[in-house]
Amino acid sequence: MGFIEWFNTNVYSNCFTLITVILSGIISLIISAIYYYKGNRNNLKMSVIHPIIRLLDDAYSRKNYDRLSEIAKDYSARYLKKEEAERLNSLLLAYKEVSTYNDVTVNADILFSYFEYKLKKNGINPKPVPVEYEGEIVYSDYPPDVFYLTQDLEKFLKRCDPVFEPDECENMVASLYKQYCKDNYTSNNISYFDDYTLEEVLKKSEIRAKWDKKFDEAKTAKEQFLKLKIAK
């Protein structure tokens, strides 16, 4: 008796057996897939999500950004869902922007910008030095020694805190401005901080506004990441 004849003689029983075997195989595959998925997601939580959450409790720094980037490259990160991956990428980009922030350096940049602003207000060109290329003036630049002003401002700001010693810092910075103005531009007397106090200059600067925006974006990216179901 051939297989077909044998099958046909017990068609209902054999069909039931065949269907049972197929369903059993499918159910086994589904169960295996579920366990595989859960295992990968658990590894993702342990290797990527939880370490990132712990890092986000620390202050922003370049070192922490580097660690964050390394964690995001972990093998299990491939099991992130589309939305999760997008929020992690947004977090990395926003974190990178604020990871190099240094309050003293930023304040020094702001004060340099204010010095330039005061020169312009008094009819002085901050960049009077012509730079030539092949006999043609291509742009103008600061006098060479002015480039040291930012460094000197940083030294001053490390010695006195604008928040706790505003008057002392203001006098020190104004004195530095006068010296640089005399050595590189004019000996005419220019009044500094007569329009804005040192505190106002540091708070209202466009440079400060840009950094505030970066920190706001980093805060939002952090909050959006922590709202993910897998992060709870």
* Per-residue pLDDT of the chain in tens (232 residues, 90 and over written 9): 454 554 455 555 555 555 665 655 555 555 555 555 576 788 889 899 999 999 999 999 999 999 999 999 998 888 888 999 999 999 999 999 999 999 999 999 999 999 999 999 999 999 999 887 777 777 899 999 999 999 999 999 999 888 889 899 999 999 999 999 999 999 999 999 999 999 999 999 999 999 999 999 999 999 999 999 998 8
Q: Which residue, among 41, 47, 93, has the nearest Cα to 74 in the 3D structure?
A: 47
If 0-12 CB within 10 Å is exposed, 13-18 middle and 19+ buried, where does residue 167 land?
Answer: exposed
- The answer to whether the pTM exceeds 0.85 is no
Domain range list for the chain: 103-205
The per-residue pLDDT for 132 is: 76
- Taking residue 52's Cβ as centre, other Cβ atoms within 10 Å add up to 21
Task: Work out the end-to-end distance of the chain between its first and last CA atoms, rounded to an integer number of angstroms.
Answer: 64
And the tokens for 54? 């712990």
